[in-house]
Amino acid sequence: MVSSPADDDPADTSTDGSVAALSEEELYAIVRVAAEDAVLGALGTLMLVGIGIVLIATGASALLTSVTPVSVLVSVVLIGFGVYLITSSLGVIPPAREWL
């Protein structure tokens, strides 16, 4: 992974912070890290939504075939966690780490 130019020398304050003051290599490193973060964020979101869909489908199929109260409870918990996972990964509700 390419380190950002800001991490290279924290004592270097000779630039005024504008993009024009950055060299071509520094600008490339910044854009590369930003693009990598964006792609990994999108893939992570898609993965969490996929896991949530699988949990909802598993809970729904178990709910339709369940006969005991314990299996109904497990099915409802699976569906609830799947819905939470999808909504929190899409930013509809805040993630649990922000609740605490």
Read out DSSP for 7-50? Answer: HH-TT---S-S-GGGS-HHHHHHHHHHHHHHHHHHHHHHHHHHH
- What is the pLDDT, as a whole number, of residue 4? 53
Q: Is residue 9 part of a domain?
A: no
Q: Is residue 33 part of a domain?
A: yes
Q: How far apart are CA 46 and CA 40, in angstroms?
A: 10
Q: Is residue 55 part of a domain?
A: yes
Q: Is residue 2 part of a domain?
A: no
Q: Is residue 13 part of a domain?
A: no
- Which pLDDT band, with edges at 50, 70 and 90, does 12 fall under? low
Range of the domain at 70: 22-98
Name the more confident of 34 and 22. Answer: 34
Percent of the chain scoring above 90 in pLDDT: 63
Q: State which of 25-29, 84-88, 92-96 shows the largest mean pLDDT.
A: 84-88
Per-residue pLDDT reduced to its tens digit, 27-61: 899 999 999 999 999 999 999 999 999 999 999 99
Give the residue among 88, 62, 87, 96 at the shortest CA–CA distance from 76.
62
Could you give the angle at the alpha carbon of 47 between the alpha carbons of 34 and 83, nearest 5°? 120
Q: Is residue 3 part of a domain?
A: no
- What is the pLDDT, as a whole number, of residue 24? 86
Q: Which pTM does this prediction carry? A: 0.70
- Which pLDDT band, with edges at 50, 70 and 90, does 93 fall under? very high
Give me the number of domains the chain comprises.
1
Q: Is residue 16 part of a domain?
A: no
Q: Is residue 86 part of a domain?
A: yes
Q: Is the pLDDT of residue 13 over 70?
A: no
